[in-house]
Amino acid sequence: MTMPSQQEMRIAISSRDKSYDGCFFYGVITTGVFCKPSCTARPARPENLRFFPSAEAAIVTGFRACKRCHPTEGNPGVSRLIEVARYIELHAEERLTLKKLAELAGLSSSRLQRIFKDAFGVSPKNYQDSVRMRNFKQLLKNGDGVTDAILSSGYGSISRVYGEAVRNIGMTPKTYRAGGAGEAITYAYRVTALGLMAMAATKKGVCFVQFGEDKASLLVQLHEEFPNAKFIASTNQDSPELDAWMDALNKHISDGTPRPDLPLDLRGTAFQIKVWRFLLSIREGEVLSYSELAAQLKKPKAFRAVATACAKNHIVVLIPCHRVIRGDGHLGGYRGGIERKRALLDAERTPQKNSQDNYST
């Protein structure tokens, strides 16, 4: 399923257009609730909206169903899975067996495992892990001590949570607890053929590449990811490495040179990172549909989760999510705007362009 353009979705929400119900769902980050386009709830500020191709995608991201518009009604199968997901969320710190969850759903263990994974793109166990990690992150942000957060989240040992946390959030729990405090992130802007671009990097590598209309909006996006990190506005003299990386990416975008093979600091769920790593293998000039990408990952029914992972890519172009389009051949969505996606694909299809692309592994 491919969503309409953001402009079209915003108009549908503003007019509470029932004809768009089922085409997409939207979440409000200030309330943690997701709704149908026709919901009669008080309109949210545009910057607080997040869009999803399905109710399952919104749930996996951490939103809960609106009690006014009931976005999951009319689909008993989804409602049953949502009940299981909600049970996992309420008991994430406990040891949950597949058998117990299957009994709650009135299904066999094998069937629950299969349809849960088809709907959400992850198994019940992986979903519990992601909820536990989300709870752990929130406790750290709320100021809980690391040890207390570990115990409250249901982790059995400090060594285990440190290994899992660093893999999922890219920094130690102590650093993440303070919203990235102590994490030095250098950022810079560059005007490219596709407009203003921001790049940011940690000591591990590039963690952020986005396009925007102005520096302020790009900086807001960066702050949302690392609210309390130390941000360093780079100059050529201050950070020659970042400047060189931006120069290489700008030449790729503006002049058609090969895509640079830069170190990346990936931050996301295990499934999202799996999708992003696969995107790195799609050759220049080639495209895949969301369904084809899901099939390549051996999760043919997880195309909605794949679409969500593409939408959450914070490192555009270097992770070429623009090479994933709708099954009907239309471009679909893109965080940087549909015109930038079209321009990137058109440039990659140009015969004069150097076809020798570099690939990360």
Q: Which residues are catalytic?
A: 35, 321
C-alpha 28 chain-centroid distance: 16
Q: Determine the Cα–Cα distance for residues 123 and 85; give it in Å rounded to an integer.
A: 11
Give dist(CA 47, CA 352) in Å, integer: 40
Largest CA distance in the chain: 64
Q: Is 185 left (phi over 0), alpha (psi -120 to 50) or beta?
A: beta
> Where does 142-193 show beta strands of DSSP type E?
184-192
CA distances to 134, 139, 158, 173 from 150, in Å: 12, 9, 7, 10
- The H or E element spanning position 175 is helix 173-177
Q: In the block, which residue shows the tokens 């992850």?
A: 122
Query: Cβ(95)–Cβ(240) under 8 Å?
Result: no
Which residues pair with residue 21 across a beta bridge?
A: 24
Encoding tokens for residue 273?
A: 């990172």
CA-only gyration radius of the chain, Å? 21
With 0-12 / 13-18 / 19 or more C-beta atoms within 10 angstroms meaning exposed / middle / buried, residue 14 is exposed
